[in-house]
C-alpha cells in the first residue's frame, strides 16, 4: 500500500523494536481501515506497512539468491576452462550430486583406477585372511609389480594393499584368480558390480586397467566407484596409507610407497587411486573431508602428473567452496524465514510465503 488515500494530517511513525515494525497511528486510523477494507483483503489490515516491507524484503532476497546462483554458474564455467584434463567431476558424497563437471559422461580409459573395482569385488567375495598362492600368470604380468614371485603365499589383505598402494598388477591378477579362478571370470563380476552401483557407462576387460579394446569409464562413474570404496572401512584404510611393508611366507619384505602424492601434502585427503597408460593419460580419483563434509574428485586424461596434482587440489578446494556457498545461502534463507515468522505474528493466515485470495504467491 502506498501513501495514496491518507490525509496529510495523518501522523504515523515506523518504529523498529525487536525486529518487528510497529505502526503508530492517530485515532482516525480505524476509520481509514474500514474504507480500504475491500482493497486490502489479502493484506494485514492491522499492519499494512509491515506487510509492504516484508514483501519488499522477500523480493530482494529472491532476486539476490537468483543473482548469486547465476554468478556461481558463471564462475563454474570460467573455472571449467582452467581444467585441462579430458574429464572431471566433483561429487558431494552425502547427496551424490555433482558440484562441478567437465564432460562427466565421456567414456575414457580408466587405467589403474580399475583396481578400485578389483578391490571392491575381492573384499566382497573373499576373506581378508585367505591365503593366495601366486601363479605364474600373476608373477609375469607387467609393467608395474609389487615383486611377488610364483609360489609366494600371500593373504588377500596384503594383496589389496599392494594393488591399491603400489598399483601392483601382479597383486590385482592374483586377487582375480583367487576369487573367480580366472581373470576372465573375475571381470564378469567387476562389470556386474559396476552396473549394480549405477556405473552404467563403465566396462572392464581386465583386473589391472592395462589398455585394451572396449575398456572404459567416465568421470561420473569413477566417482560412484570411489563412493562405493568408502563404504568399506578396510579399503578406506588402505587408500589412506602412505607406505607399507609386506612380508611373504618366505620372509621376503616388500616396501611399498603410495602413488598418491597428495597424501603427503593435503591434510583434507581421505585417500585416492592413480592411474596411467599412454592412451588414458594421467588419471586420479580421491576423496577428501573438511568440516564433516566429504567430496570426491575424479580426473581422467590429464597431460602430466604435475597438472594432475594441481587440478586435483584446485577441484578439492572448489568443491568445498561450493558447499560452503550453498550453506551460506541456505542460512540466509532460513534466517529470513525466521524473521518473516516474527513479523507475521499478527498477520493471521497471510504471510510472505503464503498466497493471496487469487491463489497467487506473494513473491
User: E strands, the chain, where?
Assistant: 13-17, 20-24, 87-92, 98-102, 131-133, 153-155, 243-247, 253-257, 269-277, 281-290, 293-302
Residue 16 is among the residues annotated as catalytic for this protein:
no
Residue 50 is among the residues annotated as catalytic for this protein:
no
Radius of gyration of the chain (CA): 30
User: Which is the catalytic residue, given 50, 112, 302, 351?
Assistant: 112
Query: Cα separation of 53 and 79, whole Å?
Result: 38
> 220, 101 in Cβ contact below 8 A?
yes
Q: How many residues does the chain have?
A: 363
Residue 39 is among the residues annotated as catalytic for this protein:
no
Buried b / exposed e along 109-131 (16+ C-beta atoms within 10 A) = bbbbbbbbbbbbbbbebbeeeee
Query: Cα separation of 360 and 363, whole Å?
Result: 8
DSSP letters of 30-97? HHHHHHTGGG-TTS-TT-HHHHHHHHHHHHHHHHHHHHHHHHHHHHHHHHHTT--SSEEEEEETTT--
Residues 6 or more apart whose CB falls under 8 angstroms from that of 53 comprise 21, 343
Backbone dihedral angles phi then psi of residue 188, each to the nearest 5 degrees: -60, -40
User: Which is the catalytic residue, given 115, 166, 203, 224?
Assistant: 115
Query: Cα separation of 55 and 49, whole Å?
Result: 10
| CB burial of residue 287 (10 Å; 0-12, 13-18, 19+) | buried
User: Which is the catalytic residue, given 167, 207, 227, 302?
Assistant: 167
Residues 6 or more apart whose CB falls under 8 angstroms from that of 342 comprise 18, 19, 20
Backbone dihedral angles phi then psi of residue 83, each to the nearest 5 degrees: -95, 115
Q: Hey, which residues are catalytic here? A: 112, 115, 167
Amino acid at each position: 500500500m502506498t501513501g495514496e488515500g491518507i490525509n496529510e494530517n495523518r501522523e504515523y511513525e515506523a518504529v523498529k523494536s525487536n525486529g518487528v515494525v510497529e505502526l503508530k497511528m492517530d485515532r482516525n486510523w480505524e476509520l481509514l481501515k474500514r474504507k480500504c477494507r475491500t482493497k486490502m483483503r489479502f493484506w494485514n489490515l492491522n499492519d499494512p506497512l509491515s506487510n509492504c516491507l516484508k514483501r519488499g524484503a522477500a523480493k530482494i532476497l529472491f532476486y539476490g539468491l537468483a543473482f548469486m546462483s547465476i554468478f556461481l554458474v558463471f564462475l563454474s564455467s570460467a573455472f571449467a576452462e582452467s581444467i585441462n584434463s579430458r574429464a572431471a567431476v566433483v561429487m558431494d558424497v552425502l547427496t551424490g550430486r555433482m558440484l562441478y563437471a567437465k564432460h562427466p559422461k565421456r567414456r575414457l580409459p580408466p587405467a589403474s583406477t580399475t583396481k578400485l573395482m578389483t578391490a571392491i569385488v575381492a573384499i566382497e567375495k573373499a576373506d581378508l585372511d585367505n591365503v593366495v598362492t601366486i601363479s605364474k600368470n600373476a608373477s609375469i604380468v607387467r609393467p608395474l609389480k609389487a615383486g611377488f614371485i610364483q609360489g609366494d603365499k600371500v593373504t588377500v589383505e596384503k594383496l589389496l594393499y599392494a594393488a591399491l598402494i603400489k598399483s601392483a598388477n601382479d597383486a590385482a591378477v592374483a586377487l582375480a584368480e583367487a576369487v573367480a579362478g580366472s581373470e576372465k571370470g573375475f571381470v564378469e563380476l567387476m562389470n556386474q558390480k559396476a552396473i549394480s552401483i549405477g556405473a552404467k557407462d563403465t566396462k572392464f576387460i581386465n583386473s589391472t586397467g592395462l589398455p585394451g579394446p572396449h575398456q572404459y569409464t567416465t568421470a561420473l562413474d569413477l566417482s560412484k566407484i570411489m563412493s562405493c570404496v568408502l563404504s568399506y572401512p578396510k579399503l578406506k584404510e588402505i587408500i589412506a596409507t602412505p607406505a607399507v611393508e609386506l612380508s611373504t611366507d618366505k620372509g621376503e619384505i616388500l616396501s611399498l610407497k603410495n602413488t598418491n602424492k597428495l597424501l603427503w601434502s593435503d591434510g583434507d585427503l581421505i585417500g585416492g587411486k592413480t592411474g596411467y597408460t599412454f592412451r588414458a593419460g594421467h588419471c586420479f580419483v580421491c576423496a577428501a573431508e573438511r568440516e564433516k563434509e566429504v567430496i570426491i574428485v575424479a580426473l581422467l586424461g590429464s597431460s602430466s602428473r604435475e597438472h594432475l596434482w594441481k587440478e586435483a587440489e584446485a577441484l578439492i578446494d572448489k568443491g568445498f567452496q561450493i558447499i560452503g556457498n550453498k550453506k551460506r545461502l541456505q542460512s540466509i534463507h532460513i534466517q529470513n524465514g525466521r524473521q518473516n515468522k516474527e513479523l507475521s505474528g499478527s498477520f493471521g493466515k497471510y504471510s510472505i510465503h503464503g498466497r493471496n485470495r487469487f491463489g497467487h504467491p506473494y513473491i
